[in-house]
Structure 1
Amino acid sequence: MPPKRRKHCQAVRTSILSKKWRYHWCRITELNLDSRLWETKMDKLYPTVKFTKIIYQILSLHEGPITKFSLDIAALKSCPNIDNFIHFLSRNDIQQLVLELPWGFDKLISLKLCDVTIPPELLGSLISQCPLLDNLELEISEDSLSDVIEINAPKLRSFDFTGNITFICLMNVPLLAEVSLSLYQGSSMEADNFFFAMFFESCTALERLFLHFNGSEIEPEDDDEVAMRLPFDVNCVKYLYLRFLILEESYDLSHVLCCIRSFPYLEYLEIQVGFGDAGSVESLELEHFTDMTLNHLREIKVERFEGTPPEMQLVELLLAKSPGLVRMLIDTWIPDDTIVSRPGAFTEVSKFWRASPKAQVVHKS
C-alpha cells in the first residue's frame, strides 16, 4: 500500500479505536477507503455493517473540504447504500472521485453529473451498469469538447444534456419520452449543420423535445442552399420548444422552419426568440414551403416577440400552415428594457390569414 494511502487508512482506524486521536484526521483533504478497513476475519459482523459504521463516522466527524476520494468496495458481495456519502462529497469541494464497485449502481434511477470531467467511454460504461436508470442529466464544461457519448439505458425516460458534444449515440432507449439539448457554440451538433438530427433516429418513444442552441447565429457559406427539412420526419414528437433563436436573416428562418416541419405530428410549439439585429432583411421565399403542413398543431407560443421581419414571416407562415390551430399566444414581454417590440406589430399579426377558422391570436405584454 502506498505511504499516503496507508496513512489515511490508519487515520480512520485510529479514529474508530480511540477518541483521543479522532481529530487528527478530521481535516484530511484526501481519503482512501478499501476493504482493509472492514475485513471480518475475527468477528461475525457482515462486511457491509462495518462499512456503514465507518461511513457514518466520516460523515459525522469530518470537517473542511475533501478534494480527492477513493472508495474500493469491489470485494463486497453487494453494493451498500452510499447515496448520502456521495451527496456529502458533492458539497465538500470534491475534485477527484474514484469508485470501485462490485456490480455497479443496479438500483440507481436518477443520475445528475454537472461540471465533471469524465472520459466518454467511462461515462458510457457507468450508464450501462445502471439498468433501472430513469432520469439522466449531464452538464459538460463549456471549455472542453466531448467526444461521442454512447447511452445504453433501456429504462431511461428523461435525458437532459448541456455542453459541447461531437455526437450522442442512443443505443437502447425504447422508453425515452423527454429530451432537452442545450448545445454550446462550437458543438458538432449545432443547428447550422443539422448533425443533431441523427440523434433522433432511435428515439421511437420521444414526445417532448427542448432544443436550445445557446443564441449562436447560423452563418451560411456562400454556396449554401436553403435547407428544406431534416433527413427524416420525427413522427412521435408532440411538444417542441425552440429556445433563444436569433432570427436575423431569411437563412436563419429557413433553418427554423426546416426543423419545425420535420415534426409533422406536433400539437404544441413554443418558441423563444433571441435578440438579433432588427434591421431590414430580404423576404423568405415562401414557395420553398408550399408543401409544409402542420395538421396536428393546436397551440403556438412565441416569447420575446419584437416584430422583426423574420419573426413576422415565421408567425405568418405558422398561421397559414396550421389548419387545426386553436390558439397562438404572442408574448412581447422582454426583460431588457432597452429592447422593445415594434409598434403596431401585433396589429399586423392579427390581420394575417389563418388556415384554421377557430384560431385565436392573443397578445400578452
Structure 2
Amino acid sequence: MKSARRSGVDKISNLPCNVLDGILGCLSLKDAVKTSILSKNWRYNWVTRTELDFDYHLFRSLAHEQEANTIIYQVLLLHKGPILNFILSGSNLISFPEIDHWILFLSKKNVQKFTLQIYSRNSYHLPSHLFTFKQLRHLELGMCLFHPPPGFKGFEKLINLDLKDVTFVPAVLKNLISRSPLLERLRLCWCTNFDTLEIDAVNLKCFAFRGASKSICFKNAPMLRKANVYLTSPASADASPVCSNLTKFFCYMPRLMELDIGGFLLKYLTMGGLPENALTTLNNVKSLRIGGMLFRTVEEVSCVIYLISSCPKLQELTIECETMNTMNDVAEPIVQFLRDQSSLCGVVKILQRVYMCMFSGLEMEIEFVRSILAYAPVLEEISIWNYSCLLIQTGKQLTDKMKQFHQASPNVEIIVDEVDVED
C-alpha cells in the first residue's frame, strides 16, 4: 500500500472487473454503495453487484419506511446486469404496491434466489410476476398469500423452498412440489392447516414441518436424509390408518439419517399400534431427537423405546421432556414398563451421547435414564439439564443416584446442569 501511494498507481482500481465484483460482493450492500464516493472510477462499480440484500439492518437504521423505499428504488434504478440473489426483509416493510413494482423489475433480472420476509398484520399477496422467475433455485417467503395464476407450471430449477406463515390452497403446494423435480430442501412453518399433508419428492433430502395437519403421509422420499416434523395439533381420531401407522409413515424414507419429531406426532404415530418387528427403514439413523416427551402414557413411552430400538446405528439421542410435577400419579405403570424392557439390549451398542432437556427428576424420567445406562456399552456422555427451580432433586443428588446405576459403559460421564432462572 505504501509503495502504491508513492508511485501514484491505483492498483486496486485497475483490477479485473470480476475481481472487483468479488471484493464488493464480500461487503454489505450499504458498504458496497459507499465505495461510490472513493473516486470517479468507483462511482458505479457497485451497480453490477449480483446480490442485493435489503434486510432488517437497513430498516432498523431508518426511522420511516419511506426512507427505505427511496433507497431501494434508487439502487434498482442504477443497477445493471443480472441480480442472482435478492433479499427483502424488514419490520417496516408494509407498503405492498412498492413491493409489486420491485418484483416486476426483478422478473427481468434472472433471479436465482429470492427472499421476502414480511412483518405485518396483513399478509402480502404475491403478484403474478413472481411466478415468471424461470431461473429460481431458492425461494424463501414469510407472511405471504401464495396463489399462482392459472397455467403456472412450477419452478423447474427450484432446489430450496422455505415457507413461514404462508397461506395457500393445499393442492397448490402439492402441485408445486410435483412440478419442482430438483427440490432438495422443503421447510413449512406455521403455514396453512392441512387435512392431509402428502410429500412426494424424489430428490428431497431435507424436510421440516411445524404446524397443524390431521394426517401426514410420505408417499415417496427415497433420498430424504433429514426429517423434522413437529405436529402442533392433536391427532385426528379419523386419521387414515395408512398415515398413522409407524411402518407406513417411515416406509418411503430408507436413507434417513437424522430424525427430529415432536408435539403431537408421537401420539399420532401410535394410533395404528406398534409393529412386532423393528423398522428396517430406520437402519441408517444416527441422530434422533424427540421433543415434547411427556412420559404420560405407556403407549407413548413404548413408542419412543420402539423408535430407539429401530435405530441400530444411533449415535446421538436427545429427549426434550415436558413432564409436570403433578403427573406422579401415572408414574407406576410407566416405571414398571421400563423396568420390564430389554428391547434396548444389543441395539444401542454404538450410542455415544444422550441429552435430556427440561428434566425434572421424576421417577419415570430417572428410570428411562437407567435403561439407557444399562444397555449402551460405548456411551461417552449423558447430559441432563433443567432450571433449578423445576428440579425435584438437586443436581448433585441426581448425579450421585445415577452413578449408582449399572453402567454398561465404563467411561460414561454423567453431567447434571442446574440453570438458575436469572441465567
TM-score (norm 1): 0.67
Match of 2:337 among 285, 296, 320: 285
Q: Aligned match of 2:108 in 36, 48, 52?
A: 52
Task: Give the deviation of 1:252 after TM superposition.
Answer: 4.2
In the TM superposition, what whole-angstrom CA distance separates every residue of 1:160-201 from its partner, at most 9, and x where no partner exists?
0112224333333222111100012323489xx963552211
Q: Distance in 1 between matches of 2:407 and 2:96?
A: 69
Distance, in Å, in 1 between the alignment partners of 2:162 and 2:106 is 28
Secondary structure in structure 1 of the residue aligned to 2:416: strand
DSSP 3-state at the match of 2:155: coil
Larger RCO (CA within 8 A; separation ≥ 6): 1
- Offset from partner CA, 1:120-177 (integer Å, 9 cap, x none): 33211101111221210012458x4x13333232222110011222433333322211
**Count of paired positions:** 298
Partner of 2:311: 263
CA contact 1:216–1:246 (8 Å) conserved in 2: no
The CA distance in 2 between the partners of 1:109 and 1:216, in whole Å, is 30
* 1:325 shift after superposition: 1.5
Q: Report what 2:15 is aligned to.
A: none
Contact map agreement 2:136 2:158 (CA 8 A) in 1:
no
Residues in 2 aligned to 1:112 and 1:305: alpha-carbon distance in whole angstroms = 32
- Secondary structure of the 2:219 match is strand
Indicate if the aligned counterparts of 2:399 and 2:414 stay in contact, CA closer than 8 A: no
Q: CA deviation at 1:108?
A: 1.3
The CA distance in 2 between the partners of 1:150 and 1:217, in whole Å, is 19
Counterpart mapping for 1:187-206 below 5 A: 187-188=235-236, 195=245, 198-206=248-256
Paired-residue identity, %: 23
2:175 to 125, 128, 143: 125
For the 8 Å contact 1:197–1:231, the answer to whether it is kept is no
Give me the CA root mean square deviation: 4.1
Task: Quote how far apart the aligned CAs of 1:353 are.
Answer: 0.5
The question of 1:358 aligning with 2:415 is answered no
The residue matched to 1:52 in structure 2 has which SS?
coil
Structure-2-length-normalised TM-score: 0.59
Per the alignment, residue 213 of structure 1 pairs with 263
Evaluate the alpha carbon distance shift between residue 182 and residue 360 of structure 1 in structure 2; reply closer, same or farther with a 3 A threshold: same
Shift of 1:314: 0.3
Shift of 1:319: 0.7
Q: Following TM superposition, by how much is the alpha carbon of 1:266 offset from its aligned partner in structure 2, in angstroms?
A: 0.9
CA distance, structure 1, for counterparts of residue 226 and residue 287 of structure 2: 9
Query: What secondary structure sits across from 1:247 in the alignment?
Result: coil
Q: Is the contact made by 2:191 and 2:211 (CA closer than 8 Å) also made in structure 1?
A: yes
Q: Cα deviations across residues 300-333 of structure 1 (Å, max 9, x unaligned)? A: 11112211011011000011121221221122x3
Summarize deviations over 1:55-107 as a string: whole Å, max 9, x none: 9xxxxxxxx98854552799xxx8545799x87xx57x644633356642112
The answer for unaligned runs of 5 or more in structure 1 is: 1-25, 33-47, 56-63
Letter aligned with residue 307 of structure 1:
G
CA separation of 1:71/1:286 partners in 2, compared to 1, >3 Å: closer, same or farther?
Answer: closer
1:317 alignment partner in structure 2: 371
Normalized per residue, the structure richer in helix is: 2
Residue 98 of structure 1 pairs with residue 148 of structure 2: yes
Letter in 1 for 2:128: L
- Give 1:251 shift: 5.0
Checking the alignment, whether the CA contact within 8 Å between 2:166 and 2:190 is kept in structure 1 is yes
